């Protein structure tokens, strides 16, 4: 009888050990999973500082920042450089035109470059080119877009002023 009780006790201990191991298994499995991948950081906008200067109308600082970034293969960079050169106290219209043209070579439907190069054309008394840019914007905009509306207003002001460029109010 003693041997039977001892055998039974050992069996119970084995069962208890198995149950304890099984109860701990989920916690052990969680500890063994590899750490999750860190979330990908949002891409950095290398033109953000230049955009802030442009928004604040600090043209020399925008131009300096754009030169520092020096990303001439980027349509946005060229568009912002053209815009800054055109808007500075002593506008560099030839430089602005080179950058708008570069932006449009890179991205032919770049709405900002189409609008701003159209405004530049009006500054240079080239209504035909401004209207070409306006037509290109009409094709580039799936529906009405701000760039088209702004250039259309500029063309209308130009015509109403006897074919003279009038800055936006």
Identify which of 113, 90, 86 has the alpha carbon closest to the alpha carbon of residue 100. Answer: 113
Q: Tell me, yes or no, whether 21 lies in a domain.
A: no
CATH number at residue 155: 1.25.40.10
Rounded Cα distance, 148 and 32, in Å? 58
Q: Tell me, yes or no, whether 150 lies in a domain.
A: yes
pLDDT tens-digit series, residues 9-44: 565 555 544 444 445 544 433 444 455 555 666 678
Domain that holds residue 130: 48-160
Q: Tell me, yes or no, whether 22 lies in a domain.
A: no
Task: Give the DSSP per-residue string, 90-108.
Answer: S--HHHHHHHHHHHHHH-T
Q: Tell me, yes or no, whether 11 lies in a domain.
A: no
Identify which of 118, 112, 159, 160 has the alpha carbon closest to the alpha carbon of residue 135. Answer: 118
The number of distinct structural domains making up the chain is 1
pLDDT tens-digit series, residues 44-102: 899 999 999 999 999 999 999 999 999 999 999 999 999 999 999 999 999 999 999 99
């Amino acid at each position: 009888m003693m041997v039977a009780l001892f055998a039974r006790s050992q069996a119970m201990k084995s069962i208890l050990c198995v149950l304890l191991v099984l109860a701990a298994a989920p916690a052990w499995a969680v500890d063994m999973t590899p750490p999750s991948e860190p979330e990908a950081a949002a891409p950095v906008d290398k033109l953000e500082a230049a955009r802030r200067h442009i928004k604040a109308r600090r043209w020399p600082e925008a131009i300096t920042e754009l030169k520092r970034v020096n990303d001439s293969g980027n349509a946005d960079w060229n568009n912002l450089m053209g815009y800054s050169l055109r808007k500075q106290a002593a506008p560099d219209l030839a430089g602005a035109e080179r950058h708008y043209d570069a932006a449009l070579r890179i991205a032919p439907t770049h709405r900002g470059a189409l609008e701003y190069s159209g405004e530049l054309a009006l500054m240079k008394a080239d209504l035909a080119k401004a209207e070409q840019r306006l037509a290109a914007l009409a094709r580039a905009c799936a529906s009405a877009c701000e760039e088209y509306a702004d250039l259309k207003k500029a063309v209308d002001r130009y015509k109403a002023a006897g074919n003279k460029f009038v800055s936006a109010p």
